[in-house]
Structure 1
Amino acid sequence: MPTAIFDQLHAGMSLAHVTARLLHPFTGIEVVKLVSLCAAAFSSFNNGHEPSLPLVRVGDRYFLETGAGPTLAFKDIGQQVVAQLLNHVLGSRGERATIIVETSGDTGPAAIEAVRGCSAVRIFCLYPMGRVSHVQELQMITVDSPNVHVYRTEGDTDEQAEALKVVFTDAEFMRRHKVCSINSINWARVLVQSGYYLWACLQVAPDARMRVNFVVPTGAFGNAAGGLLAKRLGAPIERIVCATNANDIVHRTIQTGDLSFGTNRQTISPAMDIQFAYNLERLLYLCSAGDRSLDKAIMTELESTRAVQLPRPLLDTIQQTFLSCAVDDAQTLQAMREVYRAHGYALDPHSAIGVYALDHVHAVKEACRANPTVCVLTAHPAKFGEACAQAGLPPSVCDDPRVDVLKTKPHHFTCLRDPGAGSRPDKLQAWAREIKRAVEDQDKLAQTFVLAATTRHSRSKM
């Protein structure tokens, strides 16, 4: 891994330039082309203004507004760039790709927005009924595009993830239909997300003599994995605080080494309602110095028993960088109220979890006291009007024309039912079969169109 990327950067670089420099050694694409692709990806961020992600001082900490993209969530950053890369690579090969993804709320809208209307990519997206915000749901089911297929499931995000794992283990199906993922399972997306940690460090500590702390709301650990990667690429990062909601698998793993699945609980921060935190495997890999045997042993035991205790040396290495805490719904609402009353600044419930940790959790406050601290805000409050209302924030904080227009559009989705009988594996197998059937039907339809077009073309030449 190239560890000196940060040394090649300077504070005057835009996020697009930083991301291009970051991607170059991993992709082999020339920097000039990457700058063009990244600039196109970020063109709509922050209403087209620079910087693409506002970094604002609020009290004694920095807020990095990563929800400045088209679907108002940090997932836009990785999704938009990965979509540009896919288009570039597939276009040069004359190929198409199939994206299959599940979402806890923000990944789905961002992925759909990034690829809709793209002739080289089609997407099949699952989201859990009743467990995403109203705006998140509208951002998915109001898209009317032939390459977008949305599924509302009668289940939770962990069940969705396990159903897709069934799909992904069918190597022949994956190869035949050129299937990939665009959520944080996709390494490129985590890589792109490390770019805003590098960029923020350049703004806060441009000479790299000062270390920087980051407080990150996290569910599946993808956002925090980007921070760890940025540190490995030379960014002057001291501590990364992972703040979770009641679904605290990341917190338990970091605090005590207890990597075990709990019950998936519904909260007011739905994008973090995850127990199957698949990016923790990347944490194990990076913090074990790439010990594949150890990682495989841990993940094999986890899949078999759904619970594993990390070895002490590995946990010690993790805790050199990471600190964690869990924040409940009442504390989340408290942080939203406090910040708005003190500064007139509206937080969404996910971002509020990180801010609460910094303001109220003693261990976090002490660890971050000596260095500047950046709170990574993950979404715009307009996506979570229900939680804002619970916190007593004025309705005006959720005003956004991009949200208003969604309420007038027709809905397009397919239901994946819970059969209500049989075992959980049976349900997940049924969902996997349905997604595979839909992909195959779309391929048959596309082949029919190609055959018809070829026939018409041949007849016109007679």
Structure 2
Amino acid sequence: MRYISTRGEAPALGFEDVLLTGLATDGGLYVPESLPHFSVEEIRSWRGLPYAELAYKVMYPFVEDAIPADDFRKMLGETYSVFSHQAVAPLVQLDTNEWVMELFRGPTLAFKDFALQLLGRLLDYVLEKRKQHVVIMGATSGDTGSAAIEGCRRCEHVDIFILHPYQRVSEVQRRQMTTVQGDNIHNIAVKGNFDDCQRMVKESFGNQSFLSGKTQLAAVNSINWARIMAQIVYYFQASLALGGPDRSMAFSVPTGNFGDIFAGYLAKKMGLPISQLVIATNRNDILHRFMSGNKYEQHQLEHTLSPSMDIMVSSNFERLLFDLHGRDGAAVKDLLERAAKGPVSIEDYRWKHARKLFDSDAVDDKTTCDTIRDIYEKNEYLLDPHTAIGVRAARNCRRDSTVPMITLGTAHPAKFPDAIAESGLVVKPQLPAHMADLFEREERYTVLDNNVSEVQGFIAKHWKNA
């Protein structure tokens, strides 16, 4: 399988090179030249498979040119054996035909573990084969950083530099990153917001001269295709558990960078019956404004109780735009260049095509807290603020009550105690046993100005062989 850039100018690459490259040389994102497609009969035959084996069935076509089947199966078995629930992604029922899929049973209590536990093993495998060293540079709005560090900290051939917005992630999220010890782990708190951090990462990938040609950058953000690939699997898992593929499913996805919901879009294109995808956002609602009114316009970023979605530049949205424009890279490049200068829209027929599958909603902090309280009072089930936004958006946008609606539960509520307290509940979410001493562990991080040269200088000085 070959991978092409959403901007049409970079050369097509194989899986190994896409894994290590992240951002294409033309500034675009890599997507498969073509997708595998599974028949209803084939999907039905996967019922009852353990999660790791289902992951093999869904993902192997993407990597078969690079990794032998037995090696990939072993990698997947190791990846999902560290999750705290035998089902890996268990479903919890909230109401008639309404479910939450718990994606926070991994080691860092967030859905990012599904992809980043695998990504670390993929990097180790490929870098060992190539006898190559890379520098991982990533930006996080809260959860990606800890999942990337946990997934990659044992990799012998990487140094990890994670940027997070200073004082704009929850304390639990910060400590999960900054208390992991290792000479190859570096946390950078940038005096800015997530979009500033993400911009620095993209700029650094575009010009890596600060590394003097001694190593290269590798991506852990959802710009890396391997992240998206791994997230496709749990859509199949949820569907199979609730009667799919013989009945269609609807999903509500709390999303800021559009990666998690784009994986659902791909699952549908690969043959899984999905009738509706709900984009659930907070006050930083650029995706909702586009999907509801065909206007893509950046506003001032706001700090909310759901910080992992405090994002205004949704990188993976480019991958959907590429499909909506008939995979015309030049058209996507032109649109995004205009979007950087002001509001843009796409042709009405393209937008209406997207609306056949996608709906959207934006949920403010008050409604988020109301939803947390309401679900707990009726079900004694505690939602984190991001999942609460997903549940509220699902209820506001649901098209057909006979179709199962599944909200992706993206994080453990213990990561966001301030939101739980603000909802008026006296219950205090507890960290699981393996994290019980989190607030006693020593932290290590460096605060830097919102300046790309300063960040690049820090990386150039501190990677292993600098």
| In 2, Cα distance between equivalents of 1:32 and 1:6 | 24
Q: Which residue of the other structure, out of 172, 194, 218, is the alignment partner of 2:232?
A: 194
Alignment of 1:164-313 (within 5 A): 164-172=201-209, 176-206=214-244, 208-303=245-340, 305-313=341-349
Shift of 1:392: 2.4
2:296 match: secondary structure: strand
Query: Residue 4 in 1 paired to residue 64 in 2?
Result: no
Matched, 1:122 2:159: yes
- Aligned: 1:324 with 2:346: no
Compare 172-181 and 238-247 and name the one that shifted more: 172-181
Percent of paired sites with the same residue: 34
| CA distance in structure 2 between the partners assigned to 1:413 and 1:368 by the alignment | 48
Equivalent residue number for residue 383 of structure 2: 347
Q: Following TM superposition, by how much is the alpha carbon of 1:73 offset from its aligned partner in structure 2, in angstroms?
A: 0.5
RMSD value, Cα: 1.7
Structure with more of its chain in helix, by fraction: 1
Asked whether 1:376 is paired with 2:408, we answer yes
The 5 Å alignment of 1:413-424 reads 413-417=445-449
Q: Which runs of 5+ in 2 are unaligned?
A: 1-33
Tell me how far 1:133 sits from its aligned partner: 0.6
Aligned to 2:77: 39
**CA 1:185/1:394 → structure 2, altered by over 3 Å: closer, same or farther?**
same
Q: Deviations over 1:140-180 (max 9, x none)?
A: 11111111100011110111111222211105557642211
Contact 2:55 2:76 in 1 (8 A): yes
* SS of equivalent residue, structure 1 residue 398: coil
Is the contact made by 1:66 and 1:378 (CA closer than 8 Å) also made in structure 2? yes
Partner secondary structure for residue 416 of structure 2 = helix
3-state SS, counterpart of residue 156 of structure 2: coil
1:77 deviation in Å? Answer: 0.8
CA contact (8 A) 1:245 1:269 kept: yes
CA offset at residue 187 of structure 1? 1.2
Q: How many residues align?
A: 426
| Cα distance in structure 2, aligned partners of 1:277 and 1:158 | 9
Query: Which whole-Å CA distance do the structure 1 matches of 2:114 and 2:342 have between them?
Result: 32
Larger Rg, first or second structure (1 or 2): 1
1:365-384, CA deviations, whole angstroms, 9 ceiling, x for partnerless residues? 3x142311111110010101
Aligned partners of 1:205 and 1:212 also within 8 Å: no
Which amino acid is the alignment partner of residue 202 of structure 2? K
1:6 to partner: Cα distance: 6.0
The answer to whether the Cα contact below 8 Å between 1:106 and 1:271 also exists between their aligned partners in 2 is: yes
The amino acid that maps onto 2:465 is: A
**Structure 1 stretch 83-92 or stretch 15-24: which is displaced more?**
15-24
Question: What is the TM-score of this pair, normalised by structure 1?
Answer: 0.88
Find the counterpart in structure 1 of residue 456 from structure 2: 436
- The Cα of 1:437 is off from its aligned counterpart by 2.3
1:456 aligns with none
Q: Where does the alignment leave 5 or more consecutive residues of structure 1 unmatched? A: 418-426, 448-462
Aligned to 2:423: 391
